[in-house]
Structure 1
Amino acid sequence: MSAPLLADPLGGPTDPTVIQHQRTGQWWMFYTQRRPHARGLGVEWVHGSRIGTAVSDDGAAWRYRGVVEGLDPANTPGRHTHWAPEVAWDGNRYHMYLSWIHGVPSAWAGHERHIAHLTSPDLVCWEHHGFLALGFRYVIDAAVATTADGRVRLWYKDEADGSTTHAAVSQDWHTFAVEGQVIGGVPHEGPNVFALDGWQWLIADEWCGQRVYRSDDGVTWSAQGRILDIPGFHAGDRQVGRHADVVVRGKEAVVFYFTHPHWGGSNAVEAQVGALRESTVHRARLWVSEGVLRCDRDVPAASPLPPGRGRP
């Protein structure tokens, strides 16, 4: 059964992303470290978050490492909000695309959101390169992957366009040209893109499970059903799986996701102080059968990641 993977000291790990360290071979998890027990107005507990890290030798047993320092731009003293890190390796260095909000807002509306770009040689020390120019000031939840044309694409939630997924394209991981909306329809967030079994896949969090999209080029997408909408057997994995990240290992993949084990809503304002706000990170197995993405979230937590070559 998919038991929680991580003991976060604040009890609020969300938005996990997992990458393998190129030198040590260890698995590193970066995640939004929410503050579920913080006292404050409105949704202050969702803001003011740091980026937590955990490491694992096998992808099963995780050790909390601490928070990432140096993620704010220069000359911005005080506490700010860090969300939804996306971390990728370009063959020479690591890139982080981080959702960043100034200060610790108590309400959703009226506060600009930006995607910051940082690089690192070792996943520890990060250099800030500023905010991506994506045309709007309410963008979060970056995902990055190389598509069939050999270019790097960035997908993100555009809150100014109905909380839908937009894309931008780059030749160098630094400067992106906006392509516009690629996934419309109902509001959603947390896109994640990966290649598996000859297709590129995009999953997006609709707050009732992850909607699945398939593509042969990473540009045009067709919708399938949902994954992580059916409860797991573990007592802490009975709610929908939220904001996920996928690690491909050969013919299969592992999806890391979070849940609120004691709350199944979609509006964080509804979650009162305490257990309702707490979150846990889990993993599930993914594979493709007859062109359809399949998921089994009842994976023994102690089982290591399967061998194979995939996202580093």
Structure 2
Amino acid sequence: MIATLLLLAAASAPVAPKPLFRDPVHDGAADASTVYDSKAREWVMFYTNRRADLPQEDAKDVRWVHGTAIGTARSKDGAHWTYGGTANIPKSCTGDTLWAPEVQYLAGQWHMWLTVVPGVFRDWNAPRFIVHLTSPDLENWTCGDRLDLGSDRVIDASVIALPKGGYRLFFNDERQNKAIVTADSADLIHWTVGKRLTDTPGEGPKAFRWKGRWWLISDAWKGLLVMRSDDGTAWTTQSGHILDTPGTHPTDRAKGQHPDIIVAGPRAYILYFVHQDGEDAARTNPDWKRRSVLQIAQLQEKDGVITVDRNAPVPVRLKPSRLKPLRLKP
């Protein structure tokens, strides 16, 4: 009887398509952050809207990853997504290039931490900083402060609430060999930089609580690096990388990059972006590999080790719930 009910529950869950989402404007969706809008009863995704269709003047021209807006998409079930245009981000505190939104509901309102590059550049040699914005409705955003993190090259925020008050930020400091670093705050305004967590370079950290542990998954550019902690202080790095081996589906034939995590009870789903090297169109159009799509897979955990089968069908069972803060030690 129980087995039958489980099968029926699985059968009733919508199976996510591949790709999960493709940006209809520039075809360069990346760096997703996904939250539930309880008023609209919809899931909302914010993502970096890379201009993958912009012609390059030469192979070193990276203007296509600059001049980027933040795209949005909405879904009733977490499996089928509809493009919602670009986010209403004020330019007065940001700039021409917006990357890697991190959206959270904390202290009674919506917050966004956004990586800003002040201009459009042909190369990677430009300052980058993180800006804090707030919103009552996920539609209209108000400028907050630029975070002082002791570096002129910081990107990719991930923020969690501490159980005894205060907050922890995970970010990438490019001046420390692109290490993942932490900072703590009592008010979401003033931050004290803390530990460097990684010895190897990487970016796009995502911190979350799941199955009695704390996890940090980040983009190591050769798949995703997984770290776990029982107390939030001592971290163990999992050997190898997940999503390092290309999948079999035509839109999933490259390494997974820059994760987002949705925890739904006992299940956890990973959203990641994939460059389109493996699509048939890339054989005749070398520029096609710059295009990227968002995919979803379900995480599996056994004995403290996370694995992902990116080729398996993904029945998406998302039920919004109040998430408990991570019990990290300050």
- Between Structure 1 and Structure 2, the one with more helix by share is 2
Q: Which residue of 1 aligns with 2:277?
A: 262
The correspondence for 1:58, drawn from 48, 61, 77, is: 77
For residues 61-84 of structure 1, what are the alpha-carbon distances to aligned partners after superposition, in whole Å with 9 as ceiling and x for unaligned? 00000001234235x7xx610000
Whether the aligned pair in 2 keeps the contact of 1:38 and 1:273 (CA below 8 Å) is no
Q: 2:67 aligns with which of 36, 48, 52?
A: 48
State how far apart, in whole Å, the 1-side matches of 2:244 and 2:163 are: 30
Which residue in 2 is equivalent to 1:32? 48
Give the SS at the match of 2:70. Answer: strand
* Unpaired runs of at least 5, structure 2: 1-15, 280-284, 325-330
Report the residue type matching 1:160 in the other structure. R
Counterpart position of 2:11: none
Moved more, 228-237 or 277-286: 228-237
**Partner AA of 1:118 in structure 2:** L
Of residues 170, 173, 181, the one that matches 1:155 is 170
Q: Which amino acid aligns with 2:104?
A: A
In structure 2, how many angstroms separate the alpha carbons of the residues matched to 1:23 and 1:299? 33
SS at match of 1:255: strand
Q: Show the counterpart of 1:294.
A: 307
Evaluate the alpha carbon distance shift between residue 2 and residue 299 of structure 1 in structure 2; reply closer, same or farther with a 3 A threshold.
farther
Out of 186, 191, 197, the residue aligned to residue 171 of structure 1 is: 186
Structure 1 segment 116-195 matched on structure 2, within 5 A: 116-147=131-162, 150-183=165-198, 185-195=199-209
Alignment of 1:19 with 2:31, yes or no, is no
Q: Provide the TM-score with structure 2 as the length reference.
A: 0.85
Give distance in 2, aligned partners of 1:223 and 1:161: 19
Q: CA deviation at 1:130?
A: 2.5
Give me the whole-angstrom Cα distance separating, in 2, the residues matched to 1:149 and 1:193: 18
Amino acid in structure 1 at the alignment position of 2:91: D
- TM-score, normalised to structure 1, is 0.89
Higher RCO structure (Cα 8 Å, ≥6 apart): 1
Equivalent of 1:204 in 213, 218, 233: 218
Q: CA RMSD in A?
A: 2.1
8 Å CA contact 1:2–1:234 kept in 2: the answer is no
Q: SS where residue 73 of structure 1 aligns?
A: helix
Deviation, 1:255, is 0.5
Query: Unaligned stretches of 5+ in structure 1?
Result: 265-271
Question: 2:101 aligns to what?
Answer: 85
Aligned partner letter, 1:208: K
Instruction: Please tell me whether the aligned partners of residues 142 and 157 of structure 1 are also in contact (alpha carbons under 8 angstroms).
Output: yes
Compare CA radii of gyration and give the structure with the larger one. 2
1:70-106 alpha-carbon deviations (Å, 9 max, x no partner) = 34235x7xx6100000000115111100000111011
1:215 to 229, 236, 241: 229
Cα offset, 1:131, TM superposition? 0.7
Q: Which amino acid aligns with 2:92?
A: P
The alignment partner of 1:236 has SS state of: helix
**Residues 159, 129 of structure 1: CA spacing in aligned structure 2 closer, same or farther, 3 A cutoff?**
same
Partner residue in 1 for 2:5: none
Between stretches 214-223 and 41-50, larger displacement belongs to 214-223
On the 8 A contact 1:56/1:63 being kept in 2, the answer is yes
Would the aligned equivalents of 1:2 and 1:233 in 2 still touch at CA under 8 Å? Answer: no
Matching residue within 252, 258, 273 for 1:243:
258
Q: Would the alpha carbon gap of residues 210 and 148 (structure 1) be closer, same or farther in structure 2, given more than 3 Å must change?
A: farther
What is the CA–CA distance in structure 2 between the aligned matches of 1:144 and 1:218, rounded to whole Å? Answer: 14
Structure 2 vs 1, CA of residues 132 and 288 (structure 1 numbering), >3 Å: closer, same or farther? Answer: same
Secondary structure at 2:250's aligned position in 1? coil
Decide which of 266, 269, 279 is 2:292's aligned counterpart.
279
Closer, same or farther: CA 73–219 of 1 in aligned 2, 3 Å: farther
- Contact conserved, 2:50 with 2:64, CA < 8 A, in 1? yes
What's the counterpart of residue 122 of structure 2?
A: 106
Q: How many residues matched?
A: 299
Q: Is the 8 A contact 2:18 2:251 kept in 1?
A: yes
Query: Cα 1:71–1:215, aligned 2, differ >3 Å: closer, same or farther?
Result: farther
Counterpart CA distance in 1 for 2:55 and 2:83 is 24
**Is the CA contact 1:3–1:300 (under 8 Å) kept in the aligned structure 2?**
no
CA shift, 1:277, in A, is: 0.5
Please tell me whether the aligned partners of residues 71 and 126 of structure 1 are also in contact (alpha carbons under 8 angstroms). yes
- Match of 2:138, as an amino acid? L
Q: Deviations over 1:265-298 (max 9, x none)?
A: xxxxxxx973110001000101321222222223
1:24-70 Cα shifts (integer Å, max 9, x gaps)? 22111100000012135511111111000000000000000000123
Query: In the superposition, relative to structure 1, how do residues 256 and 262 fare at CA in structure 2: closer, same or farther (>3 Å)?
Result: same
